[in-house]
Each structure stands twice: as C-alpha cells, then as structure tokens.
Structure 1
Amino acid sequence: MVVKPVSELAEVTIRSMASNGSGVGKLPDGRVVFVPRTAPGDLVRVRVSAVKRRWANGHVDEVLQPSEGRTDPPCPLYERCGGCSLQHLPYTEQLKWKGRFVVDALSRIGRLEVDEVAVTASPKPLRYRNKITFTLKRLSGGRVVAGFHHLRRSNYVVDVKDECILPEPELSSAWTSLRENWGANAARLPAGGRLRLTLRNSKSGVYLFVQGGRSPWNAENLVNRVPSVSTVWHHPSDSEEIELVHGRPHEDVWGGNRVMLIGDAFLQVNRGAAQLLEEYVKVRAGFPDTAIDAYCGIGQYGRTLANLGTRVVGIDVSAAALASPFVRDDENYQTVQGTVEEHISDYLPTDLLVLNPPRSGLEHSVPVQILAAPPKRVIYISCDAATLARDLYRLAPVYSLVEHRAFDFFPQTAHIETVMILKRSGN
C-alpha cells in the first residue's frame, strides 16, 4: 500500500536495473528506489514521486554524473514519451541487461540454475517495426494531438510528428502524410473524442486500422489524399464488427505461408528478428512425426514443421488468426478454434509441443494437462520472462531445461522474446 505521495529530492547512485528498464538505487533512508531513464553507475538527483514501506518510485531531476555506460538517446521525445525505456543505453548494453533480466526471472521465480542467457540481436536496432499504433485525442478548440502516452502521465498524449525512430520508413512516411491530410480537427477521420490509429507495413504495402469513433465513415475523403495507404479498416466503438472501408485485404508471407491480414491481425512487429527465431525453432524441432502448435495464431511455427512432413494440430482462440492463412487446413496441418486449456488434452501425448502463449503465460490447468500426458519435447516461446519462469517451475516435475536463447524483438525497450527447449525426463 502506498504510504504517501511525495515530491522530495535525493541523490542516488544507480547500482542495477529492474526488468522494466528502470534503474535501481537506494535512498538515504535505505529504501530501494526505481528510476526510469537511468543507467548503472549514474549519480542522479531523483525526485521521489511515491513511497511504499520498502521501496519508492522516482524520476530524474538531474544527471549529476553520467556513467560510462550511458549514451545520448537518439529520439528527441525520449524524456517524455513512454514508448521506449532503454534508448539511454548503447545497444550492446541493452542486450547484456536483457539477458540478465531473463536469468534473474529463471533463478528467482523458476528456481533454475542458469548462469547466462545468450541474446540474439535484432538485425535492425532502429526502424524495425512493421506496425505502429498511435492514440489520437480531439481537444477543446478544435486542437488534435496524436502520438504515444506520456512516460509519467498516462492520460496525456505526447504529440508525435516524424520524431519516432522505431517504425519502418514506409510507416513514418505514411504517418506524416496522414497528419498533413486529415484536416482541421481531424475531420476526415471518424467522429469521436479518442481514436487508436494503427499502421502496418506488409508485402502489399501500408494499411490503416482505425479503432473507435462512429460509423458510417467515408474514408475516401482521407485516403484520396494519402496514396501511400492502400487499405483502411475501421472498428467503430458502437459495433463489434471490423469494417473494410477502403481497398482490399493485404497479403503477406510468414513462415513461407501466404496470409491475409484482417484488421489488427497479430503478427510479430520485427520481421527480421522473427525470421531468426523461426529458423531457430525449426532447427531445434527436428523432424517429429506429430506436434501440437498451441496458441498458434497464423501458424508461423507449426506450418513450417508441417511443410517438412510433421502432422501438426494448431490450437488458437482467434477465429480471425486461424482464417488468415490462404490454406487453413491441409494434409499435415489441422486447426482447432478454442482455448488451449479446452482442447490440448484431446491431442496429447505428442512428439513435440510448441507453446507460444500471450504475456500472461499458461492458464493454470494447462501444465497439469501436459504433465498428465507429457510430450517428448517442449519448445516454449515467451514474451514475458516472469510468467515463463513460473510455468517452467510448474513443468519441472517431468521436464528438464536443455537449451535456451533470447531474441531481441523490441530494441530500445526492456521487452525480450525467450525460447526454452525442454526434454521429458526418463522414459
């Protein structure tokens, strides 16, 4: 429980980093303080913003003495924007700390003895995102702000024109053109106080997905002025349906398979890093006779195995994701719509189980079902080291960890993608 909000100043030496990217130091009273945008070795004046019994949050008032491990962030919005958390570290330092974040979670939560987790760098540390989402707010007096949420004031939107260094160049160009052409008070966008605008770059070009606002919306008045956007989807706030309001669905290729992109279809935002992970999974999977592709989405991993002759069952709750591939089911790949906890036991045991759950990890009954009919091997892909470690601990009675690696899908942030290779113990 928060004891009190405060606004006091203290000099702090940053000693380490937390898994969210904040620097960690100690206040004069001995309490641990978490300070975003700091690097180990920094001496900083911290403005303490909230104090709990054993720890506190703060933000940098002034960097008194920067550490050798600090660099100037390349984005001019970095000190205000909440999108990135590690731009003040050189990229090699980012990778080092991300590996440590994973080791800490595996040790502290998973109770595993892991000395080091190697991190594969992103082919592009900047301009790597093929998808970017902005928040647009209409303010009083006809003013519009559109960008990302503020670092410390989450209800405040930092206006972003062309400053962001994460999206691919095609997306930056499209965003600039949208801003220049949506008109006074963004009148050429759907009516409504707040909208979410997502741009995605695919093999077919750039498309726009608008969430919020009212229907109907005549998108032609906008897209006729923005030729770089070839397709527009709209999910009105007063409807459960996603509407194609301009153009036709884009096609893309993932895992060697053609997919159709509908609305806000889930795909990895870093294509180069995703391809490295896909190859890693393919090599470690070998040539099993049977496999389950749990939380399969479009089937990026399972369809790759199916193309090599493995009989695969893909399970996912999203009908849209399962319908995205042009060939949904074939001789080697069968899809099942529903939750993994509902269906996984129907297909166990199997030679290989590929797990790629959301950030929350496995639903509590899934490890129980796996242990009741354990596959020979498990490949667990995770975007959250803490829930990954928790689930590995649950699987420990039957499985041993034989290999691990992390992949940097999100440079300049504290997020990291991790792969664990598990082998069934005994027979």
Structure 2
Amino acid sequence: MRYAERVSESRSDAARGPVVEIRDVTTDGRGVGRLDDGRVAFVDGALPGDTVRIEITRERTSRVDAVAVGTIVASPDRVDPPCPHQAACGGCPLMPLAPAAALALKVRHLEQTLRRVGRLAIETDEVIAAPRTERYRTRLRFAVAPRARGVAVGFHAASDPARLVPVDDCLLGPGEMTRIARRAVELIAARTAEEDDAAWPTHVTVRGTRDGAAFLLVLEGIDAPWTAGRTIGDALCEEIPALRGVHVIGRARRGRSPAPRHLAGARRLHDTIGPFAVAVEPGGFLQVNPDVAERLYAC
C-alpha cells in the first residue's frame, strides 16, 4: 500500500516551521532540501519527493538540521514499511522507499562518490539487486538497555542515538536472532546480582549460518572474571538448540576491543559461500548478506 499523495497538516504543524521540498537523501537516511534563504536542510523523517514542514533543531551558517513535523506532499515512491519499529529505529532509513527507488538512490550515491573522491566519471550500466530484503543478514548487533531500565534489547533511535528502541523481532535477520539476544539478557538479569554492573552487557551480537540453522552469541562489554558466565552460557545452549556457542568480549580500551573469550558450546560455526568453506568466528569478518557475497565470490 502506498502513502497518500497529500497529507493534511494540523494547526500545530503549520505553525512550527518552513516548508521544504526534499530532492535527495544522505547515506544515513536524512532528506536533503533547501530553505528559501539558500541554506541546505538535512531533515530526519523525509525522503526524496516529499514536501514537508520542518522543525529546525540546529542552525549553522550554511545548513540546518531539522525533523519533519508535517507532510504536505508525500513522495510517490513511499511505501508502508514492513517493520513496525522503522519510524523510531535508526537501522533502516530507506525502508519506506520502494525497492527500485532505493536501489537507484544507492547507485546515484556511488557514482557521486566516485566522481567527488576518485575523480572517476563512471556510469553504471547494470545493477544486480539483492534477492532478499528481509531475513537475509547473518549478523545482528543489538544494544542493551542499562540494567536499571529492565530487560530491553534493540537499536539506537534515529532521532536520539542515546535512546534505545526496544525491538521484539528485527526483520533483517532470522527471528531466532532477536529471541536469542533477549533471552540472554533475561538470564543474565535473573542469575546475577543487581549491583553487579560489570556483568551487564552493553551490546549483544548474534551471528549465524546462511540457512538460519545455527548461531553464535557474543556478549559485549563484560570484563573478566565473570563467575556466572559459563553457567549462563551452558543454560542458553541447552534451552535454545540452534544456539551452538556463547562468547564474551570485554569493554574496549583506547578504541580497541579485547579478543573474544569462549564460555560455552562451539567455538565457531562452519558455513559455505558458493564453493568455499568458511568459518564463522565470534570476532571475525564475513559479509552479512550471503546472497550478495556469493555473487562477489563468483566474479
């Protein structure tokens, strides 16, 4: 279902700021337009083709940061995002854009970057779209709310990176990923003392095989020693058959994270990308979109 082309404004919206036509979007998903005085406006919640009323949140000499508070004309390329968390979550800013329009936008950004940085005038003849836009990722990294706020895992808000948006199911990965992350935090809350902040993770990463049959869990931000860690890891692997191993990584020091420490189950997973056998390590690097990785390996 597409958005209506025209959306009425409330009186409060109409009194809050100028109207801007959005002509482009940044790589982090903010709409780009111009004010009547010539300054560039970067607008949260707006996409190319939108005409929106904005509330300015920060002003500079040549630019302003703003948020869309009313839609006057909605882009014809807008679609209803499948994720109920999209508007608040900062993870998928282009999800409300039709797939073909989003792909064309990414191509334009690539060509602009090559011209601006590499001085290369390259035009793309063919673009191969990823076959899946949902449930394709083999790695998800969830932020964890402080213990005092209860058990909550999710992603940082688009409008305020300090605020956590709880998510019950991230559509980018298999549903089991979110369940593993949340259950891990629930067990830590139940089996460690409330005052033991050193045993509370800041982030939880879940890595899996491309078929979604096996996963590794990495608890981040927990420093050694962690006496309850092995017991919690064993309990998680026993409770969730698809979870094959649990690891922990301490807090980063001077921008560098320590090596993962094994707690329970398998130390790594084994997967394939095309004809190649690959190891899925708790701290290793693999393309998170295996369908696209397979195409790259075939080149």
Using structure 1 for the length normalisation, give the TM-score: 0.58
- Of the two, which has the highest radius of gyration? 1
Alignment match, 2:238:
224
Shift of 1:263: 1.5
The equivalences for 1:106-185 within 5 A come to 106-116=114-124, 118-140=126-148, 143-162=150-169, 164-167=170-173, 169=174, 172-180=175-183, 182-183=185-186
Q: Counterpart of 1:78 in 2: which secondary structure?
A: coil
How far does the alpha carbon of each residue in 1:170-224 deviate from its partner, in whole angstroms, 9 at most, with x for none? xx22422552564377335895344211111126711111111242312223332
Using structure 2 for the length normalisation, give the TM-score: 0.81
Q: Counterpart of 1:258 in 2: which secondary structure?
A: strand
Unaligned runs of 5+ in 1: 1-7, 281-427
Alignment match, 1:276:
295
Q: 1-side partners of 2:91 and 2:184: how far apart?
A: 25
Shift of 1:120: 1.5
Shift of 1:126: 1.5
Alignment match, 1:14:
22
User: Contact 1:174–1:228 (CA<8 Å) still a contact in 2?
Assistant: no
User: Contact 2:181–2:204 (CA<8 Å) still a contact in 1?
Assistant: no
The number of aligned residues is 269
Q: 1-side partners of 2:284 and 2:191: how far apart?
A: 24
Q: Counterpart amino acid of 1:154? A: P
Q: 2-side partners of 1:178 and 1:56: how far apart?
A: 38
| Structure having greater relative contact order (Cα 8 Å, sep ≥ 6) | 1
Does residue 213 (structure 1) correspond to residue 222 (structure 2)? The answer is yes
Q: Counterpart of 1:35 in 2: which secondary structure?
A: strand
User: Contact 1:37–1:88 (CA<8 Å) still a contact in 2?
Assistant: no
Q: 1-side partners of 2:145 and 2:28: how far apart?
A: 27
Distance 1:108 1:242, change over 3 A: closer
Q: 1-side partners of 2:199 and 2:287: how far apart?
A: 29
The equivalences for 1:9-408 within 5 A come to 9-116=17-124, 118-140=126-148, 143-162=150-169, 164-167=170-173, 169=174, 172-180=175-183, 182-183=185-186, 186-188=189-191, 191-202=198-209, 205-214=214-223, 215-216=226-227, 217=229, 218=231, 219-237=233-251, 240-248=258-266, 249-254=268-273, 256-280=275-299
Q: 1-side partners of 2:168 and 2:92: how far apart?
A: 16
Q: Counterpart of 1:183 in 2: which secondary structure?
A: helix
% identical equivalent positions: 30
Shift of 1:255: 5.5
Distance 1:46 1:174, change over 3 A: same
Structure richer in strand, relative to its length: 1
